[in-house]
């Protein structure tokens, strides 16, 4: 069996595939889809500069308007090269190849946020300090989809990410904690690939978009481990949200649009207090089993460092839209790691859980992306299998 149709108990979880699929489609996905459209959750603050700290040797990312110019000219269709309205090529801040699929739409409503404090997350490098480099992005105007970003630049980043997420700790056999980081990254990679395949530029001349089932199969569905890792990442992030439930339900969702903020609050409550979820999958991931060995604290520091490196690598992603979603999703994973693996420490020191506003936005949008991917895998698995078997 090489498709996404998996069954039985999901590794590291007390939930099974069938239940997760059912709850995802019936409950979680519809709520998340609405939640990410609300004013509070659709704006993400991000630094879109490409300040790549790696690969100084080729100079690609040393400059403000760096990167991906390394892509050979013949790699992209002609129509991609035309600048969109308002000519991005005149904007020195943009760090990309300059094709319309790449460019982040910066159109915003004039809403502001209030009432969220900033605390450092030891798992990520980003901070929320307001400065000229930070910009708000309306995520609804910038869907994660095919952009044409491929080749050596993309490959180099994935290779470096996997180098940082593979077991490093040299104490004999690799342990569960080390595998967690790898599975989280692999699950995120699967989700990104599913989104690329689900919203693909099928015909450049007619600008026809649609699903590319062959790509979905080639990149994800034919590898059961990649599909399993997608479920793992989904449940890991879901567990982080449920663990932070009290905090998230009491948080002030203030975007300046009262009606939408009330809706966000209500949807968050529906998501976290859902009786079906609590009954069928009460513990999506059991974080208490980790870091119990005598090297626990040392191991945690090592893995934290590896994850911070991965977070820095996002500054090297050479296509603006990919960088936006890469940063958001890695930031969301960092928030989940912080909630699951650092909050107990904080309690010991008498500090309650505190999250950046941006972390909460990233966490919810990440969960929505993973939930979408699970839904798509679940819906498409059998038709992809038929297609691949020529039936
Ligand atoms: P890649 O997806 O580049 O994979 C590279 C190698 O990683 C594979 O050959 C395989 O060995 C391994 N691999 C692949 N999947 C997994 C997995 N799930 N688990 C473990 N190992 C795996 N492109 C877009 O069109 N839109 C986007 O929004 C976008 N976002 C991106 C975000 C980031 C952070 C990065 C680094 C790249 C992004 N890209 C995006 C590019 C895209 O991910 C691919 O790199 C590109 O499409 C080329 O694909 P590929 O077939 O060479 O394989």
The Cα-based distances of 153 to 242, 343, 348 in angstroms read 37, 36, 43
Count the Cβ atoms, other than its own, within 10 Å of residue 130.
Answer: 8
CA–CA distance, 346 with 341 (Å, rounded to integer)? 10
189 lines ligand 1 (CB under 6 A): yes
Grade residue 325 by pLDDT with cuts at 50, 70 and 90. Answer: very high
Show which residues are catalytic. Answer: 319, 322
C-alpha torsion 368→369→371→375, nearest 10: 130
| Position 153 pLDDT exceeds 70 | yes
Residue 332, both tokens: 């969301």
Q: Is residue 258 a known part of a binding site? A: no
For the question of an ipTM over 0.90, the answer is yes
Residue with tokens 């989104």: 195
Residues in the chain: 391
CA 94 to centroid of ligand 1, rounded, Å? 22
More reliable by pLDDT, 255 or 146: 146
Q: Is residue 147 a known part of a binding site? A: yes
Q: Looking at residue 175, what is its pLDDT?
A: 74
* pLDDT single digits (tens) 73-93: 343 233 333 333 333 333 333
DSSP 8-class letter at 289: G
Q: Looking at residue 52, what is its pLDDT?
A: 77
Angle at 353 between CA 348 and CA 354, to 5 degrees: 135
More reliable by pLDDT, 382 or 43: 43
3-class DSSP state of 172: coil
Residue 125 near residue 309 (C-beta atoms within 8 A): no
CA–CA distance, 22 with 117 (Å, rounded to integer)? 37
- Closest CA to ligand 1's atom 18: 190
CA–CA distance, 210 with 207 (Å, rounded to integer)? 10
Candidate from 53-62, 198-207, 274-283 with smallest mean pLDDT: 53-62
- Closest CA to ligand 1's atom 10: 219
Count the Cβ atoms, other than its own, within 10 Å of residue 154.
Answer: 17
Q: Which atom of ligand 1 is nearest to the CA of 188?
A: 18
Q: Looking at residue 252, what is its pLDDT?
A: 86
User: What percentage of the chain exceeds 70 in pLDDT?
Assistant: 73
Q: Half-sphere exposure of residue 26, counting CA atoms within 13 Å on the CB side?
A: 11
Q: Whole-model pTM?
A: 0.85
- Closest CA to ligand 1's atom 27: 322
CA–CA distance, 388 with 371 (Å, rounded to integer)? 25
232 lines ligand 1 (CB under 6 A): no
CA 200 to centroid of ligand 1, rounded, Å? 14
* pLDDT single digits (tens) 338-366: 999 876 654 555 557 888 888 999 999 99
Q: Is residue 158 a known part of a binding site? A: yes
Q: Which atom of ligand 1 is nearest to the CA of 314?
A: 34
CA–CA distance, 308 with 142 (Å, rounded to integer)? 25
* pLDDT single digits (tens) 88-146: 333 333 344 455 566 666 555 444 444 445 556 666 666 555 556 677 788 888 889 99
With the most atoms of ligand 1 within 8 angstroms of its CB, the residue from 137, 154, 232, 316 to mutate is 154
With the most atoms of ligand 1 within 8 angstroms of its CB, the residue from 153, 158, 216 to mutate is 158
Determine the average pLDDT of the residues in 14-31. Answer: 94
């Amino acid at each position: 069996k090489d498709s996404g149709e998996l069954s039985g108990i999901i590794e590291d979880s007390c939930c099974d595939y069938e239940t997760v699929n059912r709850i995802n489609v019936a409950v979680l996905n519809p709520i998340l889809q609405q939640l990410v459209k609300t004013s509070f959750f659709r704006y993400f603050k991000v630094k879109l500069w490409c300040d790549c700290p790696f690969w100084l040797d080729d100079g690609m990312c040393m400059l403000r308007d760096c990167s991906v110019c390394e892509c050979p000219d013949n790699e992209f269709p002609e129509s991609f090269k035309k600048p969109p309205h308002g000519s991005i090529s005149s904007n020195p801040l943009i760090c990309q190849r300059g094709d319309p699929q790449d460019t982040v739409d910066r159109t915003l409503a004039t809403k502001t946020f209030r009432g969220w404090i900033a605390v450092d997350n030891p798992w990520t490098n980003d901070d929320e300090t307001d400065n000229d480099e930070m910009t708000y992005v309306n995520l609804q105007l910038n869907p994660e989809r095919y952009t044409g970003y491929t080749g050596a630049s993309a490959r180099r980043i994935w290779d470096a990410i996997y180098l940082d997420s593979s077991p490093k700790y040299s104490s004999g056999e690799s342990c569960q904690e080390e595998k967690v980081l790898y599975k989280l990254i692999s699950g995120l990679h699967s989700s990104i690939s599913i989104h690329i395949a689900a919203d693909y530029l099928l015909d450049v001349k007619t600008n026809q978009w649609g699903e590319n089932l062959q790509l979905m199969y080639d990149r994800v569905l034919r590898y059961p481990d990649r599909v399993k890792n997608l479920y793992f990442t989904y449940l890991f992030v879901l567990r982080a949200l449920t663990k932070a439930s009290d905090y998230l339900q009491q948080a002030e969702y203030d975007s300046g649009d009262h009606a939408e903020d009330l809706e966000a609050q209500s949807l968050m409550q529906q998501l976290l207090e859902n009786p079906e979820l609590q009954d069928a999958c009460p513990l999506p991931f059991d974080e208490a089993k980790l870091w119990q060995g005598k090297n626990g604290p040392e191991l945690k520091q090592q893995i934290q460092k590896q994850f911070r490196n991965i977070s820095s690598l996002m500054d090297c992603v050479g296509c603006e839209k990919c960088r936006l979603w890469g940063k958001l999703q890695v930031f969301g994973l960092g928030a989940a790691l912080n909630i699951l693996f650092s909050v107990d420490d904080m309690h010991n020191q008498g500090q309650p859980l505190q999250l950046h506003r941006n972390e909460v936005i990233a966490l919810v949008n990440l969960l929505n992306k993973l939930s979408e991917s699970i839904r798509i895998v679940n819906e498409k698995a059998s038709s992809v299998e038929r297609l691949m078997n020529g039936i």
